[in-house]
Chain A
Amino acid sequence: MFVETLLLRMGGESGIDNVISAGDILTLSVARSGYHVHTFRTYPAEIKGGPVMFQLRAGVRPVPSLGDQLDVLLAFNEEAWELHHQALRPDGVLIYDLGEHDAPQGFNGVTYGIPLERLARDLNLRKGKNLIALGALCSLFGFDFQELQATVKEKWGKARPEFVESNRIALLAGYQWVKDHIQEEVPYRLAPPDPTHEPELVMSGNQALVAGALAAGCRFYAGYPITPASDILEEMARRLPGLGGAVLQTEDEIAAISTVVGASIAGVKAMTATSGPGFSLMQEMLGLATMAEVPVVVVNAMRAGPSTGMPTKMEQSDLNIALYGGHGDAPRIVLAARSVEDCFYQAMHAFYLSETYQMPVILLTDQSLSHRTETVPMPDPNLVPVVERLRPSPEEYASYRRYALTESGVSPMAVPGIDPTPFTATGLEHDEYGAPNYTPAMHTAQLDKRGRKFEVVAEALCGIQPPLGCLSYGVPEEEAEVGVLAWGSTAGVVRETVEELAAEGYPVTALIPAVINPLPAQRILHFARNLKAVIVPEVNRSRQFAAWVKAHTELPLISVNKYGGLPFTPAEIRAKIMEFLVTRPTKELAQEVTYG
């Protein structure tokens, strides 16, 4: 049977089965043959040893979520079967290592034993088991074998040319074994890819974010290693020096944000990225950046908290600290990326806003978005303007006032070594020149200045269109009965579910803003105006986004919360929507279901 999407999971032992590297290469080759992909992976807490899992969802149409039940489970060992069999659909396909492990009991779907370990031993390819498995999968499910061979050769051959031949042999061994021993058709095969669909990029959220930051002109990065933000540091360290930029691994997150503030004062667009524990440490310096009006971009790749929490698990529980983390009257711009593609655009957006309004911008992502890979259409960097901060003009030199009380609140920022107008920036309240000033009138005036900037931002952002603004899915709002209002990476699963339901004829719609502060409250009120129910799903216990929206709109909202460290699945979102849907589609409509 041809299916529109196929969900395949491989489970094995970290350091032995090379599940992740096999998964990544399979993903790339499947994407290159024209499918959409969406991956998900879990690592053990330990560095060596422990169970790892890689999941590939491929489809002839976009696959914005990690999906529900598994169609295929490849268990390299018995533990993988134990851990994952409950996720496998009852009529799914199970593949296990024949000869090494017994066929798992109690499964009624299709089971294939393939002697992965034995083939590897016979061919004297100790590390070849994962490639043998990929060859076998290709053969079973009809993936493009030539593409897989070419991808393995290209991606792994460069680093280890001495293994090109043995890699080829391993792939072929798995492929051929299946051809020789398994005659029956597998129950699921992916429908052929849309021939008009151009293969897309395959990248992770962190990679897309780095590309967006570089496109926006970021030339300094400082960071302290922390999961799941470390690979932003590593990617920056690889890329920035070649662009004339610099990267510093600091002694802690306080130093990271401090060096970033310093670099920005010296005129360089600068960024740091961290996760919850590090973000907590950065709060005081974010306040300084607000007070001294220094543009900085801070990424918080959220993970399950509080404290060290669960470093490798996702959660959307840092919205409150992003919004309210600092002391004093210090509004912050908060953005939340909704997909891998959006990581690119929101990183550019974050720099655009921080440079234009001279204030910190916090960009929230999360563990699931940071590390998963997805097919992404080639982003268009021209959709987001690249700006330079406002600096004093020659006419202003003589009477330069760094913190001039302008109408927009934005005042020219002189840069040492570039502009001939020295001033002293400070975290103390100050007058227009920057000199400390504690008078009631001046504190009021400067707070108003900084607050005015925020109002100007809100106005400027009002009505911005995708890719930066709100995304809408499903039926048009005026025809909908139930609406889903989501934020961050929960966007993907909401999009998929709502689009599916709409295609089935249900009056469902969704709205997903990227700008969380200033919240597009008017847009949300407009969205909700005719809805019978507005559902707000988020991966946290304390309903942080719902509380924020309620504070701005007074809308009655229905919160759906999940907090086990994993993202929502489409079935969970669907079930909640169904609870509130009164109207059912007519029969004819239901039969018209087609996936575009």
Chain B
Amino acid sequence: MAKDSIQPRRLPKDYKSEVKPTWCPGCGDFGVLASLYQALAQLQLDPTKTVVVSGIGCSSRLPFFVETYGFQTAHGRVLPVATGIKIANPELTVIAVGGDGDGFSIGGGHLVHAVRRNPDLTYVVMDNEVYGLTKGQTSPTSPLGFKTKSTPFGSADAPINPMAWALASGVSFAARGFSGDPKQLAELIVEGIQHPGFAFIQTMSPCPTFYNTFDLWRARIEDLPPDHDPTDRMQALAQAFRDDAIPVGVFYREVRPTLESHTRVSAHPLKKNGPEFDVRSLLETYR
């Protein structure tokens, strides 16, 4: 803390790295990145104590553009890697990011387990309902009948509902934002980071190159009703299943014990604050 007080206040641009984003012009992920800079600055997070972790995809390029520690892992593995980082050093702020293919298809098996363990992570999924990096195939959130190069006769698979999925798995914080509204999204990310537990933030982030949904979504996006009770999981689920609109805001919030309150490396080896251990005392028990 003492160190922080002599630090000049960090601005959003201070979190920008020297690596220039490689995204197509107009990509929704720019909005998400801007919101993240905003959120990091608002919370004055220390770049040396923050790790942005991702999988693989256009959206998963994001860690390179942020001047914090980062780790772009393998396709679909962002959540278990982020969980390992958090357990190893609970003092770190760990932000996981990725796409809908990364998080709900190849990495889908990890989502429910991360959610039920409730590590104190923030998971920002940039949902564009398409595979961007591999150039436009159908994704687990693409609409039924979606025509792409991999589904020339239309996709036969019904889309999953990520918000309902996370809520039904027992997520302790769930929000949805829109990359076309970076101000609101920044607030949601701030709330997610502040939430003590797993924060799931579905971000509607269009891919103008392969599935331009900007206008479609803008027309359908609206705030959650003012009387929405974010402590009521059933109400949140009802909102998640709405098909008349795409509601945004905080769907659900609950405080329950985190993974690290039970499972964590309490004595970080590099801080050398662990108990003295001589393996011979353990070996002696085998006599």
A239 CB contacts on chain B under 8 angstroms: 282
Judging by beta carbons under 8 Å apart, are B87 and A246 in contact? yes
Q: Which residues of A contact B86 (CB under 8 A)?
A: 262
CB-CB contacts of A206-218 with B at 8 A, as 1s and 0s? 0100011011010
Most chain A CB atoms below 10 A, which of B71, B92, B109, B110: B71
B5: CB under 8 A from chain A? no
Q: Cβ of A510 < 8 Å from any Cβ of B?
A: no
**Who on chain A is nearest to B260 by CB?**
A246
Closest residue of chain A to B71, judged by CB?
Answer: A425
List of B residues within 8 angstroms of A246 by Cβ: 87-88, 263-266
For window 257-271 of A, CB contacts with B under 8 Å fall at 258-270
For residue B72, CB closer than 8 A to chain A, the reply is yes
Per-residue interface assignment for chain B, residues 45 to 72, with 1 indicating a CB less than 8 Å from any chain A CB and 0 otherwise: 0011111110010000101101111111
Q: Does B218 contact A (CB under 8 A)?
A: no
Task: Name the residue on A nearest B116 (C-beta).
Answer: A251
**B residues within 8 A CB of A379?**
283
Residues of A within 8 A of B64 (CB): 424, 426, 435-436
Contact A261 B81 (CB under 8 A): yes
Chain A residue numbers with a CB within 8 Å of B67 are 422
From A200, A258, A260, contact of B73 by CB (8 A): A258
Q: Which B residues are CB-close (under 8 A) to A251?
A: 109-110, 113
User: Which residues from chain A contact B227 at a C-beta distance below 8 Å?
Assistant: none
Is A285 an interface position by the 8 A CB rule?
A: yes
Within the assembled complex, what's the spacing in Å between the Cα atoms of A97 and B271? 61
Q: Are B73 and A201 in contact (CB under 8 A)?
A: no
Is B77 located at the chain interface by the 8 A CB criterion?
yes
Central interface residue in A32, A211, A265, by most chain B CB within 10 Å: A265
**C-alpha spacing A549/B70, complex, angstroms:** 40
Given A270-B84, A288-B73, A201 and B48 touching (CB < 8 A)? no
The listed residue with most B CB atoms (<10 A of its CB), out of A270, A420, A425, is A425
Binds B, one of A160-168, A411-419, A570-578: A411-419
Q: How far is the CB of A198 from chain B (nearest CB, A)?
A: 10
Q: Is B226 an interface residue when CB atoms closer than 8 A count as contact?
A: no
Given known contacts A215-B279, A217-B269, A244-B274, is B73 in contact with A255 (CB within 8 Å)? no
Knowing A251-B113, A266-B88 are in contact, say whether A416-B265 is a contact too (CB < 8 A).
no
Q: Are B87 and A292 in contact (CB under 8 A)?
A: no
Judge whether B80 and A258 touch: CB under 8 Å: yes
Q: Is the CB of B49 within 8 A of A260?
A: no
Are A258 and B77 in contact, CB atoms less than 8 angstroms apart?
yes
Interface residues on A, range: 35 or more
B89 sits at the interface (CB 8 A): yes
The reply to whether B72 and A426 form a contact with Cβ atoms under 8 Å apart is: yes
B6 within 8 A of A: no
Partner of A211, one of B53, B83, B279: B279
Let me know if A245 is at the binding interface, CB within 8 A: yes
Please, what's the 1-or-0 string for B176-213, where 1 marks a CB less than 8 Å from any CB in chain A? 00000000000000000000000000000000000000
Partner of A263, one of B72, B87, B282, B286: B87
User: In the assembled complex, which residues on chain B have CB atoms less than 8 Å from the CB atom of A211?
Assistant: 279, 282-283
CB distance from B99 to the nearest CB of A (A): 16
Q: Is A243 an interface residue (CB 8 A)?
A: yes
Contact B83 A259 (CB under 8 A): yes
Q: Given A219-B269, A416-B85, does the pair A288, B74 have CB atoms closer than 8 Å?
A: yes
A245 vs B63: C-alpha distance when bound (angstroms): 28
Q: Does any Cβ of B come within 8 Å of A254's Cβ? A: yes
**B243, chain A: closest CB distance, angstroms:** 31
In the bound complex, how far is the Cα of B287 from the Cα of A32, in angstroms?
Answer: 7
Extra contacts, 17 of them, besides A259-B80, A417-B48 (Cβ < 8 A), are A201-B283, A220-B88, A244-B265, A244-B273, A246-B265, A254-B80, A258-B74, A260-B84, A261-B84, A262-B83, A266-B85, A266-B89, A267-B269, A388-B270, A414-B69, A419-B48, A435-B19
What are 6 A-to-B residue pairs whose CB atoms are below 8 Å?
A244-B266, A250-B113, A252-B109, A419-B48, A425-B71, A435-B64
